[in-house]
Structure 1
Amino acid sequence: MTTRVEPGDEHSDPGLSAIMSERRQLINLAYRLVGSLADAEDVVQETYARWYAMSAREQQAIESPGAWLVTVASRICLNLLGSARARRETYVGDWIPEPLPEPSAWITGRSDGGGNDPADRVTLDESVTMAFLVVLDSMTPAERVAFVLHDVFRYPFGEVAEIVGRTPAACRQLASSARRRVRTAQTPTGPSAGQASIVRQFKTAWEAKDIDALISLLDPHATATADGGGLAVTHLQPIVGGEQIARAYAEIARVAGDRTAFLECMVNGLPGLLAQQNGSVATVFAFEIAHDRIRHIWAVRNPEKLLAWRIS
């Protein structure tokens, strides 16, 4: 997209150190706004490129470089979200946000050999769970930007208005509409340890192809969605119903045979699973669990969304 600003270059430019200290904040913001680590990194690189395209006098005239970077990154994300809607019309199957492993397990979503830079990591909290990101993806671009900036990152509506290009009152309405979507979609969840136990039981039953045990762990109205992006074989339509999911997943386990190992892991900060084939991650599974039952399964198989899961 642009010339890459490499961490470490700040040692030769003291001004760069202060600017690069904003990198983690920008990565966290952009990932929540666009749902893709690779796109978030592109957004941040483009933001820095625009900063360094200015003259020293123009840079010095900016009272708050951090606020300037957030404004530019948010506007780039807003434009990206608008074009993404058009691209999704030709996407093969359902589009699921890019899953993230634990920070200790990854550096960046790229394969260009970047250093182990903590500034390239997304802070994993309730605002990046797969369920939350899916709700964000149902919003209009303006709703998403207004909601994330105000409700997640606590920017006042006056600043949000400058970014979105609307009045503070309009941005307040956008965030309110987005908030209603979140409340409607939210489900009560138990502690992570309890969720991990349910995911572990699901894994055991799945490996045993025990349909009855799988059914007992699934909400009767559960949904399973997969994302292969046309690059990996998967079911193109969501599977609805606990029994239907149990039978479909038992068949997946049968076809996979001994070639596939199912491993417990953390996905966007919550217990999940991954399917490993020939030492490579082929699928990442995220779960939404409510009342001790699995309510939703998201299976990401698109290899372009699994770059952060590469095993060194």
Structure 2
Amino acid sequence: MDAPLDALEEHRPHLLAVGYRLTGSRADAEDAVQDAWLRWERLGPGGRGAVRDVRAWLATTVARLCLDQVRSAPARRERYVGPWLPEPLLTTGPDEVLDAVVAAADVRMATMLVLEHLTPDQRVALVLHDTVGLGFDEVGAVLGTTAPTARQIAHRGRQRVCAAAREGELPVPVAEPEQRRVLDAFLAALAAADVPTLVAVLHPDAALRTDGGGVVKAARRVVRGADKIARLLVALVAEAGPETLAAVRPVTVNGEVGMLVPSAPPIVGVLTVAGGRAVGVHVVMTPEKLRS
């Protein structure tokens, strides 16, 4: 193949998905894809012709470009003000690239939060092997280690993901109509300031994460328990005014049913649903994460 731009466009959704799974940032993923394209272009016709698997070459390059960010993320999270959530992938209509990125369940908010609990190398190894399908020789080359060590790193990461699933942190995805039913009930209870009904919509052990990044007003800690969450949200809506909920627009957030409040700055929310109730309420308010 001697058409560098064509190669990038063909694989762009896949490459963006790799970068986003690693960094949790659409902007960082797009930067990595752009840099990978520049490196692909610089190979020249002869170098590109020698690449046997263009998709794998580009994905590996994106992973290498993201690796420094992934390894520095734990230190940055320690300095982060309040709960951290990934930059939401928001779609309000057909979007060929984003639709392809969010097609897999492993970009859901719940999944991204579980990935965040892995070590940086575990995250890279899992994404490259389980999602991209690279062999452990290639994974090890990206991580700067041997294939057996890369295999062990991925195994440990997979164990942590499985443990999170057993503990209810990673519920099985539910169909869109069920998601919408729960979200509609959630919004109706909020609009009516009906705390008991809102408590019934939430799982008893539900968790609320509000990501304000220290820039806008938000809870500085994860709020747990249906009653605490319901009372807090009703109070916040009362403070903001009824027009806030009246302006809510339905959107798709990381492939799930969500909501957009077109305020200044905007607010994006999505529920994680299991067993007919919301087990997770994720609200992103940090302006930097909502520029796109």
TM-score of the aligned structures, taking structure 2 as reference length: 0.88
Match of 2:252 among 266, 273, 277: 266
- Mapping of 1:38-77 within 5 angstroms? 38-54=27-43, 56-77=45-66
Q: Which amino acid aligns with 1:168?
A: A
Q: In the alignment, is residue 206 of structure 1 matched against residue 190 of structure 2?
A: yes
Q: In the alignment, is residue 252 of structure 1 matched against residue 231 of structure 2?
A: no
1:56 shift after superposition: 4.9
Q: Which amino acid aligns with 1:167?
A: T
**Judging changes above 3 Å, is the alpha-carbon distance between structure 1 residues 15 and 46 closer, same or farther for their aligned structure 2 residues?**
closer
Structure 2 counterpart SS, 1:21: helix
Q: Which amino acid aligns with 2:79?
A: T
Task: State the partner residue of 2:174.
Answer: 190
Is the Cα–Cα contact under 8 Å of residues 31 and 40 in structure 1 kept in the other structure? yes
**Judging changes above 3 Å, is the alpha-carbon distance between structure 1 residues 210 and 33 closer, same or farther for their aligned structure 2 residues?**
same
Match of 1:88 among 60, 63, 77: 77
Match of 1:275 among 261, 266, 279: 261
1:16 shift after superposition: 3.3
Match of 1:129 among 84, 101, 108: 108
Between Structure 1 and Structure 2, the one with more helix by share is 2
Structure 1 counterpart SS, 2:86: coil
Distance 1:242 1:255 in 2: 20
Is the Cα–Cα contact under 8 Å of residues 176 and 256 in structure 2 kept in the other structure? yes
Q: Which amino acid aligns with 1:132?
A: T
Distance 1:29 1:62 in 2: 20
Distance 2:267 2:79 in 1: 22
**Judging changes above 3 Å, is the alpha-carbon distance between structure 1 residues 226 and 57 closer, same or farther for their aligned structure 2 residues?**
same
Task: State the partner residue of 2:168.
Answer: none
Task: State the partner residue of 1:7.
Answer: none
Distance 2:226 2:214 in 1: 26
1:124 shift after superposition: 2.8
Q: In the alignment, is residue 173 of structure 1 matched against residue 152 of structure 2?
A: yes
Match of 2:203 among 215, 219, 222: 219
Distance 1:307 1:34 in 2: 17
Unaligned residue ranges in structure 1 (runs of 5+): 1-12, 107-116
1:93 shift after superposition: 1.3
Match of 1:301 among 264, 285, 288: 285
1:219 shift after superposition: 1.3
The alignment covers a number of residue pairs equal to 284
Distance 1:44 1:269 in 2: 21
TM-score of the aligned structures, taking structure 1 as reference length: 0.83
Q: Which amino acid aligns with 2:249?
A: L
Match of 2:14 among 1, 20, 25: 25
Unaligned residue ranges in structure 2 (runs of 5+): 166-170
1:189 shift after superposition: 4.6
The C-alpha deviation readout for 1:19-78, integer Å capped at 9, x for no partner, is 442322211211111111001011111222233344555444444443322222111111
The C-alpha deviation readout for 1:160-209, integer Å capped at 9, x for no partner, is 22222222222222222222222222224532211210111000001111
Is the Cα–Cα contact under 8 Å of residues 64 and 142 in structure 2 kept in the other structure? yes
Q: In the alignment, is residue 35 of structure 1 matched against residue 24 of structure 2?
A: yes
Distance 1:232 1:30 in 2: 27
Is the Cα–Cα contact under 8 Å of residues 12 and 97 in structure 2 kept in the other structure? no
Q: Please, which moves more after superposition, 93-102 or 49-58?
A: 49-58
Identity %: 36
